[in-house]
Structure 1
């Protein structure tokens, strides 16, 4: 922790800087420009920026995405034309061509169409640096772009009275979307790996606000290194005395000019936290000061653990009001979720039945006794049910639990031990791969559980009071945000926070994302014991 009370100024007022401090300070992929811009909000031309953005990691990344997108569309055109040529016995039958002239068709397929895709991808904001590397918005925009491409091709064919092969257009569009999404997923994985291992390709942030608010934002952004947000300093708005004697993860400053501090610590982003964002005059002047500096300004309000789709901005006379929608826990989307759960569970049990029989045989050979373990759990709206699991412990495990209570490694309502002596060898393998939970498909089929949701907790551990009870607003799931974020390695408070976040921000898209992440978590066997 560091105190700096050199030139005392208002936190957002810029003092006159010494000429020796106006030289560029290189740091990673950005550097300061030599001449500071005016701080009174003078308009500047968007086409002739004299002060470049400090954070430049997105430039090579965007170039790589453009190349990947062009290759994806070209590959889609090539595979489609190759498959259709073979299906239509070569060039003797060209019903699959939407242009009678083969040369003109290939010109459109390999030149016009890729360029059209690239322009529409750009116009739909798929290269916007705010959506790169995190969240589902980047993928949603690619899917919307594909719909636009099909509409444009259809409109062009209608306007020119061209005979259009619907099969060709459908195959090219579908394969292009698949290749585009696959390329973006691969690029994102590389970016996340780089951010976690080296710290490159990330934003260096200064947190501005009171110490509790800044530390809360610090904890939130550092939970996910893949997000690419690295806090490097805290600037206190309530004076340095509030931080005396408190250990902080990054240096703390007070009574400093924020822009000078940004230059000193090599940051490229200022995050205004909590109550500091409620000072409209100060925040507006800070935004003016940052114009043309290349420094990003973000606002972290006190509204936490609420996803973007539930938040809408309603500006009234220059005052931006955040309107927070209620969680969607009923309606058509919820009915679709229930239907998909039942269908997926039925198909899963049917397809996996031979594999389940082999697991049952392995359990009986490893330890005589019942194949399944059924335990009362608390479900939707507090109703209890008996969960199905493959037995992974010796038959006297419940009796031996009382002697192991003092060795419990969990700080919550679940009993957890990394080296639990009650687990037999084959059962340990089932737990490490999460295959012991496959019989819960029976609970899903019966409507007692869902594929995605908070994990069901034991019924004998007492009432679910306070925040924990909110978990009961939805059906418990075979997997959930808790499982894909650390499983047994998480503290009880963190697990509850993740479950409550899921309850408040549920969506079908979010469920699909959790199911996808579950595959990788199971393969890595992280936190499974």
Structure 2
């Protein structure tokens, strides 16, 4: 959340208002700016993808005016994306949000439906919709590739913003620790201005200190903060509100920072709350964040159930030859049953019998106790990269995650969902704390954030964080995004063992 301010520039001591000492903005922009080709590439892919797909649909349908309709739809698609601020420089490449593309696409469908209702049968809506279905992948792929490119640049220290953090020492430590765990964001903390006498972690240099008491004059906070910002050549000032930095004091600091030509970011303290659940409002002059509760009922949940059953049924029919081939391979590879049944814990702590292709020797459960001391995972899950119990065929099945396909029958029975957290074992759940038990608030899934984010290569804390992020921020568009990412994760096979 960015605080805005419109008061005149507040001069620093020894300088006149007409000649404030400001670091050249152009220099700072060059350091943390994104590649110039992001914007034209994004617009071109959106326009060309929509135009080509609609044109091909019209040509295949032998409909007249293919070029005209293709141009009109392409322009409409670009305008919808523009109106939704998808081309804003701050947002380009920032995240691979398939759900945002889907929402834009639905808006375009509504817009074209309204056009058809206005001009009648002269507008071939069916052919247009057919073309628009084909245009979605182009936008999604472009957005994903750009996001990965930007993340790679930031891991190399490019396209980043040098940040100065203002707040209480404990809050500064928490923010820095959270930012250090990820490399897909723009912030690089170079120093802090702690409030009070407490000192943050030694890894964060102290650029200046602010008095716990609110200063009598505006320059009380502005002088040390702006002096540190200029000396350290920072691009952005990050403020963590607290008992000693709130209300007018925060407001006045924002005036000084903005008049110095730097943006100000306020960290409200919420973690793992998706943007679509947060609404900013102003009441009696106070800025408030309204956080919507997680989706647990209603039309969205009904849609998820329908998609689970329909999707599982279709996949079982389409993959029947694959099931037969895998069953023969498992049977010929080693003695024992083709399918492996295991008790897992589902939504609300209910136990169910999970089914999957057998990938281990028949007596694998008995051998687990002998291997207990070789567990390579830091949490409650039991994982060994080179598990001796895994068969030759089983290793291939696990590499591409096809051993999980029989769980489609669990989805049909309503015990699982296509997308959700990993279904845990009862002995794992017995050791859960209150936070980890929240993973059981939704149905476990055939795929999920854990599967598309590294799987067994993730630590236990990372696994729990991903599952809780899904539990709290689930939506149909999130499921759609995870399903799209699952294919790439299966092909890459990273973390699968």
- TM-score > 0.5 by shorter chain: yes
1:143 to 90, 98, 105: 105
2:483 to 494, 505, 515: 515
| SS of structure 1 residue aligned to 2:387 | coil
Displacement of 1:458 in angstroms is: 0.9
1:416 aligns with 2:383: yes
Displacement of 1:187 in angstroms is: 4.3
Displacement of 1:465 in angstroms is: 4.0
Corresponding residue number in structure 2 for 1:489: 457
CA contact 1:277–1:283 (8 Å) conserved in 2: no
CA contact 2:164–2:192 (8 Å) conserved in 1: yes
1:254 aligns with 2:205: no
- The size of the alignment, in residue pairs, is 467
Displacement of 1:318 in angstroms is: 0.8
Structure 1: distance between partners of 2:479 and 2:76: 32
- What are the Cα deviations for residues 317-359 of structure 1, in whole angstroms up to 9, with x where unaligned? 1112222232221222112211211121122122212211211
Displacement of 1:429 in angstroms is: 1.4
TM-score normalised over the length of structure 1: 0.78
Higher CA-based Rg: 1
Corresponding residue number in structure 2 for 1:125: 85
CA 1:115/1:488 → structure 2, altered by over 3 Å: closer, same or farther? closer
Structure 1: distance between partners of 2:492 and 2:43: 31
CA contact 2:348–2:442 (8 Å) conserved in 1: yes
Displacement of 1:417 in angstroms is: 0.9
1:213 aligns with 2:175: no
Written as runs of structure 1 = structure 2, the 5 A alignment for 1:196-275 is 196-197=152-153, 198-226=156-184, 228-239=185-196, 241-243=198-200, 246-248=201-203, 251-255=205-209, 257-275=224-242
CA 1:252/1:154 → structure 2, altered by over 3 Å: closer, same or farther? farther
1:190 to 128, 131, 146: 146
CA contact 2:22–2:260 (8 Å) conserved in 1: no
Structure 2: stretches of 5+ with no match in the other structure: 1-9, 210-222
CA contact 1:209–1:276 (8 Å) conserved in 2: no
Corresponding residue number in structure 1 for 2:131: 175
| SS of structure 2 residue aligned to 1:225 | coil
CA 1:25/1:142 → structure 2, altered by over 3 Å: closer, same or farther? closer
Displacement of 1:517 in angstroms is: 1.7
Structure 1: distance between partners of 2:54 and 2:295: 40
| SS of structure 2 residue aligned to 1:374 | strand
2:122 to 162, 165, 169: 165
Corresponding residue number in structure 2 for 1:35: none
- What are the Cα deviations for residues 166-189 of structure 1, in whole angstroms up to 9, with x where unaligned? 32x443465357436513531441
Corresponding residue number in structure 2 for 1:62: 39
CA contact 1:25–1:266 (8 Å) conserved in 2: no
| SS of structure 1 residue aligned to 2:30 | coil
Displacement of 1:117 in angstroms is: 4.7
Greater mean deviation of Cα atoms: 460-469 or 115-124: 115-124
TM-score normalised over the length of structure 2: 0.83
Corresponding residue number in structure 1 for 2:448: 480
Structure 1: stretches of 5+ with no match in the other structure: 1-12, 32-54, 89-95, 98-104
